[in-house]
Amino acid sequence: MRIAEQETVEGVAAGVPFVALPPADREAPAALVAGWHLMEVPASEQAFAEAVPMTGLQAWRVYLGLPLTGARLPGGGPAELFRRASEDAVLNVFEPVTEQAAAEFPAALAELRSRLPGADGPLGVFGGSAGSLVALEVLARGQVAVEAAAVVSPVARLAPVIGRNERLFDVTYPWSPRSRAVADRYDFVRRAGELSAPLLIVAGEADDAAVREPARALREKLGTELVTVGGMAHEFAPGTPEAARVDAAFSEWFARRLRA
């Protein structure tokens, strides 16, 4: 079946699994909006597309699979990923996932533009939680021209989120000089001046302070927009009112900021 006849396109671009939803008008030029899912719900490219479809945008919405998840789980599956995270979440999960996803994005983007009809308009990027680290790192690297970005349940500073996970899982993280350097690198409040596009921040009212407070600090540093979703913690399952609020915020933001 030709891509133009499909409601949803699934495939692999430059080694990256993706789900793509077509623009409202398939005959007109389209923007391209690409993003990365959470490692909590919605924890896959398919689930993120279902939770935040941004229906009605004149844009291809592309949901990219994170490294070490889904089809790219390590040998041993979820148990092996959990083992690695338990051993050192910063060095074994957050750093390799973020670095690989950001590094592979330019090639994946080029292939997506060549394969998705009309997808040669302006670019937006987005992400949730672990995926927000990727979106922010892509902005900071500046290897591709991004017109607008949006993050939800953002990891604006990695170190406090590690503290959240310590409380959540009743563990003590073994900080080392190397992992502290990684956490410092993934402090986007400190690196706010490197972010290369207008940014929307969406945070849950009931999320942990480790997420909410850095999100507010980043908003103040950038002077950008912050949407607080009442009743939402860190996750937002497809079909819930919380997911609908995230979807509405992302949709309005990209419709306002991107013109195909």
Q: Which amino acid is at 17?
A: P
Nearest to 249 by CA among 220, 219, 229, 222: 229
DSSP secondary structure code for residue 72 in this structure: G
Contact of 236 with 42, CB cutoff 8 Å: yes
pLDDT, tens digit only, all 260 positions of the chain: 233 335 899 999 999 999 999 999 998 999 999 999 999 999 999 999 999 999 999 999 999 999 999 999 999 999 999 999 999 999 999 999 999 999 999 999 999 999 999 999 999 999 999 999 999 999 999 999 999 999 999 999 999 999 999 998 899 999 999 999 999 999 999 999 999 899 999 999 999 999 999 999 999 999 999 999 999 999 999 999 999 999 999 999 999 999 75
Token pair 């950001």 in the structure block, residue: 102
Angle at CA of residue 98, ends 53 and 11, nearest 5°: 45
Q: What is the pLDDT of residue 7?
A: 84
How many beta carbons lie within 10 A of that of residue 187, not counting itself? 17
| Residue 194: strand, helix, or coil | helix
Q: What is the pLDDT of residue 260?
A: 59
Structure tokens at 163: 């503290």
Contact of 102 with 132, CB cutoff 8 Å: no
* Residue 201: HSE in the Cβ half-sphere, 13 Å Cα cutoff: 26
Beta bridge partners of 149: 125, 199
What pTM does this model have? 0.96
- CA 226 centroid distance within chain: 16
Nearest to 59 by CA among 32, 20, 28, 26: 32
Nearest to 15 by CA among 93, 98, 100: 100
Q: How far is CA 122 from CA 4, 65, 176, in A?
A: 20, 21, 41
DSSP per position, 105-160? HHHHHHHHHHHSTT--S-EEEEEETHHHHHHHHHHHH-SS--SEEEEES--SBHHH
How many beta carbons lie within 10 A of that of residue 82, not counting itself? 12
